[in-house]
Structure 1
Amino acid sequence: MRWLKGLPGTHSLFDDASANKCTFTFNRMTLCLTLVILVAAAAVGCTAKGAATEPSAEAPAVEEVPVPLPEPEPEPEPEPAPQSEESQAWTARWLEERPIFVMMDNHSGARPQSGLKEALFVYEMLAEGNITRYMAVFTGTEDYEVGPIRSARPYFINRALEYDGIYVHVGGSPQAFADLVNLKVADVDGLSAGKNVFWRRSHKKIPHNMYSTLEAIRRDANRRKYRTEASFEVPVYASAPLQLEGEAAASVRFVYREGSSGYASGYKYDEASGLYQRYVNGKIHVDELDDVPIQAANVIVQTVRAKTVDNEGRLVMEDVGSGKGWLISMGTRIPVKWEKADRRAQTVYKMEDGTPIELMPGVTWIQVIPQWLEPVWNEEA
């Protein structure tokens, strides 16, 4: 019957069965394919659904960094006022050479003293008891006689150290001699220098008659190979008349000890010159060099604690630390504060607002007074 297959009009049972078999096979494949598609679709749907419902991870928070503001430009410091010719001249005097600090006698038998009117600074402090002594500061190359010269005290040494000076004296207290050695002070002592450096004059009695000259002192300092340069801060001199806002200071007096041979220093203001005339025991203080009255452009008053330390009446003047005082100039006084960090440090004088003081060009006297001494202001003539 194989040959009948495919002829038109012919049929066989075999052919029907094969057809049915093929149809069944096709249907099974179709069903399987459909099931695969459905399963795949279900899987995709589950995955999409899971992706939709799964919570997403939160994005990290971005920390906001503040943008720094530009710093303001610092204001330029005001330029210092140009110095006047007079203030320049007094500044230059400090820089001419290493300052020379000369201890001067103030005993009644030693007055008047020689050279005080030529000094830049003059200090007056107690020596022992209520007896005062001067220390004058000189620079420059001019030569003149200075004296009478007396002995050293520790707190006078402190002032010479402030300005890296050469300290001139004749002898001294035991503590002063120890300080001169321990502090390696550049000193010229009349007890060890020759007669070509110190000499006694006959118009006054011993011990109030020892003199020298600045040239002789410089010569001996060079022999000792002391430095000629110094390191310190020069006092500031005003370029115009000081306009101090304070109380009137037409006069002032400091009474260390009463009496005709006592120790009372005073100043009276002269408006015409803008200077203070200096007085000792009520009389005009003159210079022995030429009998010219001694004047001051500035007076600094510094109050310190003082106490007696031996049977000779020698003192400790507590000038390291801080305290109060006054600046007197141009007929006015203002309160000031002073500071000194150590024995070599310079004493700094400031106004109450902390501004360092300025000085009028001219000689400055510094009255260092004990805590018990009260200045007498504006006495009537």
Structure 2
Amino acid sequence: MRKLILLLFLSFVLVACDEDANDTQDNKDDAENVVDTEQDESAEPAEPVYENVYPLTGIGTNEPIDNRIVGVMVNNHGNARPQTGLSKADVVFEILAEGMITRFLALYHSEQPEVVGPVRSAREYYFDLADRYGALYVYHGAANFVNDMLDDRGIDHIDGAHYDNDGYLFKRESFRVAPHNSYLLFNHVYDIATELGYDVKADHAPMPFLESDEIAAIDGEAASHVEIVYSNNPMEIVEYEYDASTEKYTRYNDREMTVELNTEEPIQVDNILIVETHHEVFDDAGRREIDVYSGGNAYLIQKGKAQQLQWENRDGKIVPVKDGKVVGFVPGKTWINVIPTSPGMQDSVTITGE
């Protein structure tokens, strides 16, 4: 009887010890799982991998990219503001036309707005830039000699004067007065281009863009506010205000925020490239020749920092250069402001920190 009781007692002790051992192992496993979970939560998320990258923005996509860039001449007269469709442009060149009023060459590729405008007339330096970026060039009207240059040089172009208010490619809006009321119906650009025998598919060479580690290492002077004075009389002042929450710059024209006409969405950009180059008026109408080839002084402004460097025209594209090496853009949208060498950077551009 005593032996039976002893055996039962020993069996109970062994079972209890085995359960304690299992509990200990379970607790150990739970602790390891907690540590692993905490490590996973603190780890940097892996950057997504995309099949393609848009050449003008450096932003990845899994969509096929084979559409051709479309460059549109957009009016920036005071009577043409706010404009429509500027927020969708990947790259915008802002350059003086006649007088001291600027005009835009807006390059569309990654996004395609329904409407763009008001659309204005062609200039040689604009269509030359559009062509060097491989774009279809869309404008409304031009002097005869400009149209002759477009034809003679084989520039793929669409003149809105041939489709004025046809309701398919262009329309006139009643809330504005000509020549500030012609709008491009963007959805039909490729159809018309095809009818004209132009290629609407293209494989565009990419602009230079920074990698993530290079973006984190951007250096330069603090640049929370940028002011570019094209003219004080009449007032033609462009400003960019840095928004640290979005890490983008909001654009202003003549002290008013640049917004989309219908939505009042502000125009925000990731890169501002200010380039200084020679301008020369060559006729009584005030038309200009502008050197977009020789290079010169420049500011590159991104992520709240401004770098003073040079610009060059490489393979048709205007790019920032430092110590002979191309400096990349932050992935996103870019505005390139071209200013005259006289009065030049020192008198035309003011950059301030916080």
State the TM bucket, normalised to the shorter chain: 0.7 to 0.9
- Distance in 2, matches of 1:200 and 1:183, equals 30
The answer to whether 1:236 aligns with 2:245 is no
Residue matched to 1:334: 307
Q: Find the partner of 1:226 among 198, 212, 222.
A: 198
1:216 matched residue in structure 2: 188
Runs of 4+ in 1 over 6 A off after TM superposition: none
Question: Does the aligned pair in 1 maintain the 2:297–2:309 contact within 8 Å?
Answer: yes
**Counterpart secondary structure, 1:217:** helix
Distance 2:111 2:220 in 1: 38
Give the Cα–Cα distance (whole angstroms) in 1 for the partners of residues 140 and 109 of structure 2.
Answer: 20
* Alpha-carbon distance between aligned partners in 2 of 1:83 and 1:299, rounded to the nearest angstrom: 26
Is the CA contact (8 Å cut-off) linking 2:300 and 2:320 kept in structure 1?
A: no
Amino acid at match of 1:215: N
Residues 111 and 350 (structure 1), Cα distance of their counterparts in 2 relative to 1, 3 Å cut: closer
Q: State whether residues 170 and 189 of structure 1, in contact with CA within 8 Å, keep that contact through their aligned partners in structure 2.
A: yes
For residues 269 and 140 of structure 1, the distance between their equivalents in structure 2, rounded to whole angstroms, comes to 24
- Tell me what 2:11 maps to: none
More strand by share: 2
Structure 2 CA distance for aligned equivalents of residues 332 and 380 of structure 1: 9
* Mean Cα deviation higher: 208-217 or 166-175: 166-175
- What TM-score does the superposition give when structure 2 sets the normalisation length? 0.77
Question: Are residues 1:180 and 2:154 paired?
Answer: no
C-alpha separation in 1, matches of 2:245 and 2:111 = 31
For residues 251 and 268 of structure 1, the distance between their equivalents in structure 2, rounded to whole angstroms, comes to 5
User: Structure 1 143/327 Cα, relative in aligned 2: closer, same or farther at 3 Å?
Assistant: closer
For 2:296, the equivalent position in structure 1 comes to 323
Q: State the alpha-carbon separation in 1 of the partners of residues 114 and 223 from structure 2.
A: 33
**Do structure 1's residue 133 and structure 2's residue 107 form an aligned pair?**
no
How does the TM-score come out when normalised to structure 1? Answer: 0.72
1:303-322 map, 5 Å: 303-322=276-295
- Counterpart of 1:246 in structure 2 is 220
For residue 277 of structure 1, report the CA deviation from its aligned partner.
Answer: 0.9
Match of 2:84 among 114, 127, 135: 114
Q: Is the 8 A contact 1:284 1:293 kept in 2?
A: yes
User: Aligned equivalents of 2:318 and 2:112: distance in 1?
Assistant: 29
CA distance in structure 2 between the partners assigned to 1:85 and 1:105 by the alignment: 38
Question: 1:242 offset after TM fit, Å?
Answer: 4.7
* Counterparts in 2 of 1:303 and 1:242: CA distance versus 1, 3 Å: farther
2:72 is the counterpart of 1:102: yes
Whether 2:171 is the aligned partner of 1:199: answer yes
2:127 alignment partner AA: I
Q: 5 Å matches for 1:32-111?
A: 88=53, 90-91=57-58, 95-111=65-81
Gaps in structure 1 of 5+ consecutive residues: 1-81
> Given that residues 104 and 136 in structure 1 are in contact (C-alpha distance below 8 angstroms), is that contact kept between their aligned partners in structure 2?
yes
Aligned-pair Cα RMSD in Å: 2.4
Matches within 5 A, 1:9-28: none
- 3-state secondary structure, aligned to 1:219: helix
Tell me if 1:279 matches 2:249. no
Aligned match for 2:332, one of 362, 366, 373 = 362
Match of 2:322 in 1: 352
**2:133 touches 2:317 (CA, 8 Å); kept in 1?**
no
Match of 1:8 in 2: none
Secondary structure of the 1:129 match is coil
Displacement, 1:352?
2.0
- Say how many residue pairs are matched: 296
CA deviation after TM superposition for structure 1 residue 358, in Å: 1.2
Contact 2:224–2:353 (8 Å) recurs in 1: no
Give the distance between the partners of 1:142 and 1:201, measured in 2 at CA: 20
Is the deviation greater in 182-191 or in 317-326?
Answer: 317-326
One-letter amino acid of the counterpart of residue 277, structure 1: T
The one-character-per-residue Cα deviations of 1:306-332 (angstroms, maximum 9, x if unpaired) are 011000111010112222211110111
Counterpart-to-counterpart distance in 1, 2:209 and 2:296: 23
Alpha-carbon spacing, 1:242–1:210, altered in 2? closer, same or farther (3 Å) = farther
The structure with more radius of gyration = 1
Pair 1:134–1:311, CA change in 2 (3 A): same
Paired amino acid for 1:100: V
Letter in 2 for 1:370: P
In structure 2, the CA distance between the partners of 1:83 and 1:352, relative to structure 1 (3 Å rule), is: farther
Secondary structure of residue in 1 paired with 2:81: coil
